[in-house]
Amino acid sequence: MLAEVNSHDWDCVRWLMDSNFDRVYVEVANFKGAKRGVTTNNFYDNAIVSLHFENGGLGSISGVCPCDYGYDARVEVVGEKGIMQIGELKGESVVICTNRDHGLVTPIYRTWPQRFTWAYILEMKHFIECVQTDNKPGVGGEEGRWAVAGVLAGTRSFLENRPVQLPEIFGGKE
């Protein structure tokens, strides 16, 4: 899950913090696997990632898969001057009221392709423009390297039940 559901979260936290993370600690749980017939060792369907950044900042990533109530992706950043929240649980800015006993109904995103439709369209548009103009894409291999390092550190963290320093993953080099 850290490599799939949360793959872009690793990039997002680095970008929002304007810093690389240098320590990762992950707790995982398996709430639904047994009921769904999953017998894989170390299977988890919930994860909480705590991050320490080189600039002294703290961050977190949480993941749930399968998330039976829909596709949920949100970010909250708390700083010295205030708070920034990105995303919300309701998926669409539509509110339906047809029955006073059920109250208001707000549709949610059910899948990640539905949630990120415009992100994928804009990502492809940017890539095509880079190819056509011979410009460098805004995101490259370095972001991928850090995402993979985060997944490796996170996996080691929950398997060994301890925080993992990023030099352990990079072999002493960053």
Is residue 47 within 8 Å of 2, Cβ to Cβ?
yes
- Does the residue 81 lie in any domain? yes
**pLDDT tens digits along 99-147:** 788 787 777 777 778 878 888 899 999 999 999 999 999 888 899 999 9
CA distances from residue 28 to 47, 62, 107 in whole angstroms, order as listed: 4, 10, 29
CA distances from residue 157 to 5, 53, 84 in whole angstroms, order as listed: 18, 16, 28
Give the pLDDT band (50/70/90) at residue 149: very high
Which pair of structure tokens corresponds to residue 46?
């919930």
Q: Number of folded domains in the chain?
A: 1
- Does the residue 48 lie in any domain? yes
Residue entry with tokens 């352990």: 168
Q: For residue 92, what pLDDT is reported?
A: 67
**pLDDT tens digits along 58-102:** 888 888 888 777 766 777 777 778 777 777 666 666 777 877 887
- Does the residue 113 lie in any domain? no
Find the CATH number of the domain harbouring 79.
Answer: 3.30.360.10
Is residue 126 within 8 Å of 138, Cβ to Cβ?
yes
- Does the residue 28 lie in any domain? yes
> CA–CA separation, 121 vs 103, rounded Å?
35
**Nearest Cα to Cα of residue 79 among 63, 55, 112:** 55
For residue 86, the one-letter residue type is I
Give the pLDDT band (50/70/90) at residue 4: confident
Radius of gyration, CA atoms only, the chain: 19
For 39, the domain range is 7-89+140-168
**pLDDT tens digits along 10-61:** 988 899 899 999 999 999 999 888 888 888 889 888 899 999 999 998 888 8
Tell me the whole-structure pTM to 2 decimals: 0.80
- Does the residue 106 lie in any domain? no
- Does the residue 174 lie in any domain? no
- Does the residue 44 lie in any domain? yes
- Does the residue 120 lie in any domain? no
